[in-house]
């Protein structure tokens, strides 16, 4: 009798837990799950340890798989410069965090500058929580917060030797239009990672070369809530906040 009741209680609770989980729309940086941890990869909507976290399903499972396997190939096929990368024949570490909204850390102010400052802090905090410093800071974190209109790339110091903030900004300007449309976010991430890879391999010219979609009209996009505005500001940020 007790067992039956308990089972019923569990069955009743499950949809509730499920609903609560997917109901998180504005993520606190301390709660956002780590896709690389065995304890939390499921919360990232992944079937195993992964490099991409997408708790609210912004991408389809297949798109997330494709982004993940691209990141794995960067790890396997590039070479970073520090001792352990050479000893272990491996390369740079990339992680991707997708969310509908970030819960603000530094301020509630909604102007572009404050929002970007927050995004930077968010990405930095996440990189610490996810222990991304690797052997020599050979890592980068891509953060996309859809309704905040934020696309941000945090490069840790060793990765920044090859992939400078200026490269990041030019690459983001190139791929940015793909993030305006829900259907092409996955494509945008893949293009971005391919280009980062080229830069990390020293093929900078190729990495920053414009593509046809950059000529798509963006006249409808204005104001800070549109991703189109963000990379330009990031460029200014890079100058102001460069470490
Ligand atoms: C999960 O990944 C590990 C290695 O990272 C692998 O050994 C294991 O078989 C995978 N599990 C599933 C269910 O794919
Ligand atoms: C910023 O925007 C959010 C929601 O869009 C709102 O809740 C908040 O009050 C705004 N902050 C300020 C300082 O206006
Ligand atoms: C990574 O860089 C930070 C400074 O940005 C430094 O404090 C830390 O020691 C570095 N970690 C490794 C493993 O190199």
Domain-wise residue ranges, the chain: 34-207
pLDDT at 140 over 70: yes
Question: For 215, which DSSP code?
Answer: G
Q: If one looks up domain 34-207 in CATH, what number appears?
A: 3.10.310.50
- Looking up tokens 């391999």 gives 201
Cβ of 49 closer than 6 Å to ligand 1, yes or no, is yes
Tell me: the pLDDT tens digits for 36-80?
Answer: 999 999 999 999 999 999 999 999 999 999 999 999 999 999 999
Judged by DSSP in three states, 41 sits in helix
The tokens for 135 are 């052997």
Ligand 2: centre distance to CA 141 (Å):
26
- Count how many residues are written for the chain: 243
CA 31/CA 54 separation, integer angstroms: 13
Cβ–Cβ under 8 Å, residues 139 and 159: yes
- Ligand 3 neighbours, Cβ below 6 Å, are 133, 136-137, 157
Q: Is the dihedral of CA 123, 180, 226, 164 positive or negative?
A: positive
User: Best mutation site among 37, 44, 48, 51 for ligand 1, i.e. most ligand atoms within 8 A of its Cβ?
Assistant: 48
When pLDDT is cut at 50, 70 and 90, the band that residue 24 belongs to is: confident
Cβ of 37 closer than 6 Å to ligand 1, yes or no, is no
Beta strands in 3-103 (DSSP E): 26-27, 52-53, 93-99, 101-102
HSE (side-chain half, CA atoms, 13 Å) at 237: 22
Cβ of 107 closer than 6 Å to ligand 2, yes or no, is no
CA 1/CA 27 separation, integer angstroms: 40
- Does the predicted model carry a pTM greater than 0.75? yes
The tokens for 110 are 């909604």
Average pLDDT, the chain: 83
- Measured by CA distance, the residue closest to atom 9 of ligand 2 is 108
- Measured by CA distance, the residue closest to atom 12 of ligand 3 is 136
Tell me: the pLDDT tens digits for 87-114?
Answer: 999 999 999 999 999 999 999 888 888 9
pLDDT at 8 over 90: no
């Amino acid at each position: 009798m007790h067992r039956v009741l308990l089972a019923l209680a569990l069955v009743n609770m499950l949809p509730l837990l499920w609903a609560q989980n997917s109901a998180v729309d504005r993520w606190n940086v301390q709660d956002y799950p780590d896709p690389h941890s065995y304890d939390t990869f499921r919360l990232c909507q992944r079937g195993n340890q992964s490099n991409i976290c997408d708790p609210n399903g912004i991408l389809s499972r297949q798109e997330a798989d494709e982004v993940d396997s691209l990141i794995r190939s960067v790890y396997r096929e590039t070479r970073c410069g520090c001792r352990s990368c050479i000893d272990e024949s491996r390369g740079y570490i990339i992680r991707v965090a997708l969310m509908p909204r970030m819960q603000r850390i530094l301020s509630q102010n909604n102007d572009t500058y404050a929002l970007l400052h927050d995004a930077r802090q968010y990405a930095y905090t996440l990189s610490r929580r996810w222990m991304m410093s690797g052997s020599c800071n050979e890592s980068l974190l891509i953060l996309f917060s859809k309704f905040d209109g934020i696309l941000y790339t945090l490069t840790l110091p060793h990765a920044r030797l090859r992939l400078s903030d200026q490269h990041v900004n030019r690459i983001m300007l190139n791929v940015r239009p793909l993030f305006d449309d829900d259907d092409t976010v996955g494509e945008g991430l893949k293009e971005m990672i391919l280009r980062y890879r080229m830069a990390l391999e020293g093929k900078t010219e190729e990495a920053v070369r414009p593509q046809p979609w950059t000529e798509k009209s963006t006249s409808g996009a204005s104001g800070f809530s549109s991703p189109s505005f963000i990379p330009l500001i990031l460029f200014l940020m890079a100058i102001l906040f460069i470490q």
